[in-house]
Structure 1
Amino acid sequence: MDNNIRDLSIENKIQVSFKKTENSRKEKTLQTLGDIFVSGLLHLAFIFTLISMFKIQGLSAMTIFLGSILIFALSCFFDNIKGIWKILIIIALFIMIISGNVYIKNGLLLTINQAISVIGKNTGLFIKEYKITIGPEMYKISINYFWGMFSLIIAFVCFMTVRNRSNLFLWIFVTPIFLLETWSGITPGFFHNLILFLASILLVNNSFIKGSNENKLFGRSKDSIILYTAFIILSLFIVFSFGLNKFKPASSYSKNSIAKDIKNTVADKIEDFRYEKKKTNTFTQGNFRKLEKLELLDIPALKITMDKPTSLYLRGYVGSKYTSESWTDLDDNIYYDSYGLFYWLNKSEFSGFSQLSTVNNLVKGSKNKDEKTNITINNINANSKYLYMPYESDIELDSFKNIKTFADSKVMSTSFWGNRFYKYKANTNLVKKYPEIASNLYDLKNKPEVKEYLKHESHYNEFIYENYTKIPRDIESLMENQLGEVPETEDTHMPYEKAIEIVKSYLDENIVYTVEPKSAPKGKDFLRYFLEESREGYATHYATAATAMFRYLGIPSRYVEGYLITPKDVKNVSDSKPIVIKGTNAHAWTEIYIDEIGWIPIEVTPPYYDVMEQTDTSEYPGGANLEKDKETNSSGNSSQGKQQIVDDEQEPNNNPNNKPSRKLTTLEKVIFTIGLIILLTILIYIVYVIRKRKELKEMKKGFEDPNYKLAIPRIFSYSMSLIHYGGLSKRGGSTYGYLKDIEKNYSKKHAKIFEKAIKINQEAVFSNHEISEEQYNYMIRFMDQILYDIVESKNILQRMKMKFWDFIY
C-alpha cells in the first residue's frame, strides 16, 4: 500500500511535514527578543527614513516611539490576548481614527505638502499644495496625531511581517522608498539609509532562517541564530559606517567619471534620436565638452512665414547657470520656490517672454497695431526640443500645448518627438529701437496701466537680479583679473552702454575669432582656459565670456543659442511668403536684462556685428538721459541699476510670494474616504487572518500529539475535510460509502489508499491495540497526498483563496 502512495506522488509534490517540537522557556524568550529586535528596528528605520527624506517638522519623540511600544506589547502578550480583546483593540483604534478625523486629515495633508515641497525642490516638479483647514497653532497637534496613528499601523505591519516570516514589507514599503530615491535624488540622512538597509537584511535573514524546515542550524536553535547573525551584521554595519564616514565622508562622494561619461553619451544619443533630424550646426546647447570645429551647414533648419517679414533673433536654448563644463538651468529648488511668483505674474498677464512687446504696447497704444506680424514656424531640421521665439513675441503661452517653461527663459516641448509646427504673433523688430521704447516708458510712469505693469515688473526684477547676476567665486576672481575692479556707482551696476563697451572692447582686443579653437583640457574650467590660455574661439566662447562679464559688472545676463532672421533674409520678400532659414543662420549670443524693459540680445562676436540692424543708442536708458530720468521719476526710483521693489498694497490672492493652494476636490474626498475604508477593511482582515491562522496552528499541533490514538483521528478528520473541499459531497452513514466516489473521481489506487486509512482510523478510535509509528506515518503521507491532489486541481486564484481566505493549509 505504501508503494501505491509513492506511485501517485510526483517529484514536485507539496510536502507538509510537522515536526515534534518542545519550545523551552529559553527558546521562547529568544524568539520574542528576536521578533522585537527585527520588527522594532524595521519600524524605526522606515519611520525615521521618511521623516529624514521629507524633512517632517514638529514631531515629538513619543509620537515616533508609540509604534515601538506597540511592538513590544504585541511581542510579549499577543498569544495571550483572547479574540474578544483583539476585536476591542481594533474598535478602540477605529474610534481614535474617527474621533481624530480632522487632525488625521490635516496631519496627512501637512505631510503631503511637505513631501510636495521636498520633491519640488529636488526635481523642479510643481504640484499644488493642499489647503489646510485648521489654524497654524494646531499644526503640531495635527501632524503628531497623524504620525502617531501612522506609526502604530506601520508597527503592527512590521510585527505581523516578522511574526509570519514574510518579506512582504520589503516589497510594499521599503523597495518603493529606494526607487523614489533613485528617481528623484531625494535621499534621507546617510545613516538612515544604511539602517534601513540593515533592517531589510535582518528581515530577509529572519524569514529565511525561521522559514526553514530544520529545527537546528549549526548546532544552534533558529532563534539563537537570528540573534547571533543580527549581532554579526550589526557589528559589520558599525565598522563599515565608521570607516566610510572617517575616510570618505558621504558629502565628498562623486560619480565615477567613466560612468558619468557613459551616462551623458547615452543621454545625448537619445536626445539626438528624439529631436534631431539632420544636424544643421555644431552648437552644443551650452555643453563645452562637446565643442568641436564650428560647422554651419547649408541645409534648411526652419521654414518661417510672416505676413510682415522682419529681422528677428529667435532664441532656443538658454543657459542660466555657469559651471566649468557647461551652461545649465537654474537649480530645481529655485524653479520650485519661484513657482508662486510666476503663477501670479501669469495671472496678471505679465510674461518675460513678451515683456518687450508689452512695453511697446503700453507706450504706443492703438498706434501699435500696424507693427504686429503673424509668424508660422515649420521646424524642418532644427532641434525640435525648443520652440524658437523672438524677443518681440506677443502671445500668451497658455495657448500652446505640450510645453514647459523655465522661469521665462526658454520654451521646451514636452512631446516625445518635440514640436515642429507652431504659430504665434509678434511685433516687428523692436530690439533695434529698445532705447527709444525705454525712454518713452519712463515718460509715462504716472499712467495707471504703466504703474500696474511696473508693480509686476518689480517682483520679476527682484528674481532676475537674485539669480542671473551670480557667477562662481573663482570666475569672479578671473573677471577681476581680466577687467579690473568694478567702478563704484550710485546703484548696483554701471550704465548699460558703458558695460557693453567694456565687454566688447575686451573681447575685440584680447580674443581671436576662429572656427577651429583648441579644446579645454579635461578637468580644466572652460572659461578660465579660454581667457587665460587659448584666447581663441567662436560665438559660444564669446557669448559665454560676455555673459560672465556682464554678471561681474552687476547686469543680469544669460547665454543663448538660436537662429537669426537677418535683414538680408527678409529683403525683398513678399508678405506671407515662406523664408527658409538654414543652418548657416545658427548663432550664439548673450542677452542682458534692461530694467523695466526686459531681455535684450547683445552681439559680442565680431564677425556678426553688422549682420543684424544696429541699435540706436542716442536715448540709452541709464546713459545720457540718466539725470533727466531721475528728475522725471516722481517715485524717486533710478532707472539705472536694479529696479527697486514697489511696496504697493496687493490683494492677498495676488501676492507673488504666495504659492497657489487648493482644497480637496470631491474626488479626492471620495478617495480619502475609500482609503480609510480600505484601511479599516485591512485591519479587520488582519484580525480574521490572526484568528484563522491560530485555529490552523492549533489543529496542526494536534497532528503532532505523541499519543497516536489521539493524533490519527485528527489527521483523518482533516483529510476528510480536504476531500469535501475538493468536491466530493458529504455522505451519511459509513465512511466506506466514499470508496465508490473516490474510485470514480480519482482511481482504484486512490480508493485502496483511502480504504486502508479508514481501517487505521477505526483501529485508533475503537480498538485497544497500540498504534505503530508506521501506521502514523502512513496517515501523514495519506493527508499530504490528498492536500497535494487538491492543490494541483486548482488554478492560481483558487489556490490563493485556499491559502489566504479559507486557510485550508
Structure 2
Amino acid sequence: MKRKNSQNINGISISDSIVMSVKRKNANYRKPFSALIAVIGFTSVLMSFFGMFPFRFNGKTVAMAAIGFSIFYLTLSLLGKKALWVYGGSIAAFVIYAYKKSSLISMGFKFVYNIIYKTSYHSEINYYKTIIKSSEIKSVTTLFVFYVWLLAIVLYFFTICRPNPVLPLMVTFPLLELGMYNGIEVSVFWGMLCIAYWLSLLAMSTIDVGEYSGGQSGFVRKNNLFFPKRHMKLKVTEKCGIFIIASVMLVTAVSYSFLKITHYKRSDAINEKRRDITEAMNDFTFENLAESLSSLTSAFGLDFEYENHKLGTNDHVRYKNVTDLTVTIEQPVKGAIYLKNYVGSIYKDNEWFKLPKSAYKNKIFDDFKKYDIYPQDFPAIFTKLIYSGNDNTIWIKNSKKKMKYVYAPYGTENFGGLSYQNDLTVSPQNGKKGESSYKFFHIDIESISESIASLKQRNHNLREVFSASDIHDKLCREDVLEYCTENDLLTYDDFFSIDYDIPYNREYVLENGATIMAQLLQNSYKDFVYDEYLDVPNTKAMKEVKEAYAEVLEGDTSSIEGKLEVLKAIKDKMQGECVYSLYPRKTPSNRDFVNYFLLENHKGYCINFATAGVILARMAGIPARYATGYIIVEDDVTAGKKNSDNSVTVEVKDNRSHAWTEIYLDGIGWIPYEFTSGYSAKEINTEPTKPAESTSENSVTSTTQQNTQASTTLSSAARTSGKRTTLTTSQATQTVTSKVGGVGIGKGNGKAMPKAVKYILHFLLVLLLTALIIALRRYLIIQKREKNFNSGKTPSRVKNIYSYSEKLLASLKLTSENGNYKSFAEEVEKKLAGDYFEAGSFEKLTDIALRACYGQGVPDEDELKMCRKTVEDISAKIYNNANFIQRLRLKFINVLK
C-alpha cells in the first residue's frame, strides 16, 4: 500500500500505512496449568485436613463425591462462559440440598468438633454431649460430602475462571488452622503443597503483564513512526502459579533432605525458645487476648506481663525452673507459708473478679480506717489467743520479671508502715520497688485445728460482759467506748458484751485492749463476710455440682470444728475423684469450669482445686475466696541457705506459684486452706501426669504402650488420692481403644489409610511435581532463547543463533576444534548440506557470525532470517530422525527442540 507521510510542527512523522506483524504461534497452556493448580489445591486441602484427625465416616462415599465433583466442576470451569448457567444451577442445587439436610449436617458438625476437641486437648471428654452416637458415621459423611461439594464449587471457579484468593482461603484455611492452632501436626508434604496453592492463587490474581481487552488505548513507536495499539493482554499468571508451586515444593524437598542427611539438631537453648514460642502460639486465644499477648511476648524475650483470672484457657502449664522470689525468714517455721498477691471474690463466666467498689462503702470499712485495725490483722491478733511462739519476720525480694507485684504472708502484724487494700491484701507503704518485709505471726491451719480441739470443753458462741474501765490501755479504752457508743452496744454505764467464737484468756484480753477492739470490729465484719462471700452462680452446672457433693456439704458448720470437718470431707472427696495434672487441657467454652473439672474431666492443677474448693465451701455455708501467689513448704525451708543469724534464705522457683482457697473462720479471720492434691504443709508431691501421645496407627505395640500409660496414670491417681483403684483388662482396653484412630478414608470405621495407598499417592505426586519442574525448565529456556534471537543488538542476536547451532551439531557429534570456524563450516556442509539444510547455508551463517563478532559489518534483517531458518531446519531434522527416547531427551533434557 502506498505510504502517505505528513509531518507536524513538532517534527513527528505520522504514517497512514498499514503495518502487520504476526508472531509465530506457540501452544497455549493456560487452561491446563490453571486446571492443574486447582486439582493440587483441592487434593492438598482434603489430604491435610483428613490427615490431622481420626474422623469416623464412610470413606468410599466421600472419596467418590470428591472425584465426581472434581471432574464435574473442572469440566465446567474449562468450558468457561458456555457453562456458567450450569454452574449457577449447581450452586442452587447445593443450597437446596444443604437446607434439606441441615439437621444431619449440624449433627455431623458436632461429631467432627468433638473429635477435633478431643484430639487437640488429648481428652476423652466430648464438647457436645447430647448427640446420638449411632448416627455418627451417617451425619459426618453427609457433612463431608457437602463440604467437598462446596470446596469444588469455590476452588475450581476461582482458580480457573476468575482467579481470586479470597473465597478459596475462606473455605480452606480454617480447616488447617483448626489443627495447627491446637498444635496438631500437619503432614509436611500436603501442608506445604496447600501453602504453595495459596501462594500460586495469590500470584495468579495479582500478576499482570501488558494491557488487556477493555483497558486504555495507546500507541507503539517504531523509530519515528507511531502505530495504534490493540487492547491485547499478555498474561503469564498460570505459568507463574505453576512456577511458584514447583519452587515451594523444591525448596521443601531440598530443606527436608538436607536436614535428614545431615542429622541436624537444634541446641537446647533454641529448642527451649522454640518450645516457648510454640506453646504461646498454641495457647493464643482471642477470648483471652491480653494474657495470650503477654505469653507470646514473653516467649520472644520481651517484658509485657499481664495477669488476669480467666479460668480454663490454658491447656497445660510448663515451668522453667527459674527463681521468681528470694525470701529470707528470720527463723524456720512449722507449716507452709503462703505469700498472697491477689484475691478473687466473685466467680462468674469461668473468671474471678473482685467485689464492686460499691460493696466497700459499708460503714465497717470506715471503722477499720478510723481505729487502724483491718481484717488482714485479725488472724495474727486472734490466733495468739489460742497458741503462741510463731512471731517471725520475712524479707521478700522479687525477680526482675516480678518487680511490679507485691507479696505478703498471712498473719501480718500492724506496727505501722503498711497499706491495706480493702479486706484483700496488704503491702508496705514505703520501700524499694520489688522489695518488702513484714512482721508476721505464722498462721498454720493444723495448729489452729489442734488448739481448738484441745479446748473443746469451752463453749462457743458465748457472750462475755466487759467494763471499759477494766481495759488497761487508756487509748484502747477510749476507742472501745467510742465504738460501743456509736453502735449502741453499751448496756449501762461503760459495760458492754462481746460474742466470741474461740477460747481466750480474759486477763490477756484486758491487758491488750486492741484485742477487744478487733473483736468488736470482727463481729461487725462477719455480717459483711456472710453477705458477700457465700454467693454461688445460680446455674444448672452449679446445681449439678451441689447434687454430686451433697453428702459432704450437709455437715454442721456452726462452729470452727464443724467447718474444718466439712472442709476436710470436701477435700477428701475431691482428691479421691480428681487427679493433679499439669495437662488438664482447656475447658470447653460451653462448659462451666468447676462443673467440668469435678464431674467430667477430673484433671487439674492448683487453680482447678482452689476454685472448686471455694465454690464447694460456699455451698456448705462457709465463706471462701480465691487467692493466688506463692507457697513455701517445710521442705523448701529445710533445703534453703542457713545464714549465720539463724535465718534461712529460700530461692522460690516458678513452680511454687500457686492458687489456693481462703476460708473465713469466725473469730480468727481469713486463712489459707489447701485443697490441691499432692500439696501439704511439709512437701509438694504431685507427680503430674502427661497425656498419652495420640497415634494414627492401630497396632499391637501402640496399644500395649497406651495400656501401660493408662495403668500408670490410674496408679498415680490412686496413690495421690490415697485410695485403691482397680482397673480391669476390659476397662483398660476400652479406655485405650477410644484413643486409637486414623484418617477414616476408606471404610468409615476410623481405621488409618493403608500405607500402600499413601505411598502410591505420594509417588504419583512426586512424579507430577518432577514433570512440572521439567516443563517449567523447558519453558524458561525456550523463552530465553527466543528473547536472545529476537531482541537486543543485531551482532548479539547472530552470536546467539550460531551458539545454538553449535549445540545442535554437538548432538550429532560434530564439534569445532581449535576455533577454526571456516574449516568446521566446510566439514558441516560436506556431511549435512542438502539433508539438514540448504547447501551453503551453514557457511553463510558462519561468515555472518564472524563478521558480526569482529565488527566488520552489521547483518541486516534478511541475513538474520536466513540464519534463523538454518538452525531451525537443523533442529527439525535432528528431531525427526530421532526415536521416542531421543526425542524426549532433546525436548526435555537438552531442550534443543
| Fold-level similarity (TM above 0.5) | no
TM-score of the pair, normalised by structure 1: 0.38
Q: Which has the larger radius of gyration?
A: 2
Q: Which has the higher contact order (CA 8 A, sep 6+)?
A: 1
TM-score of the pair, normalised by structure 2: 0.34
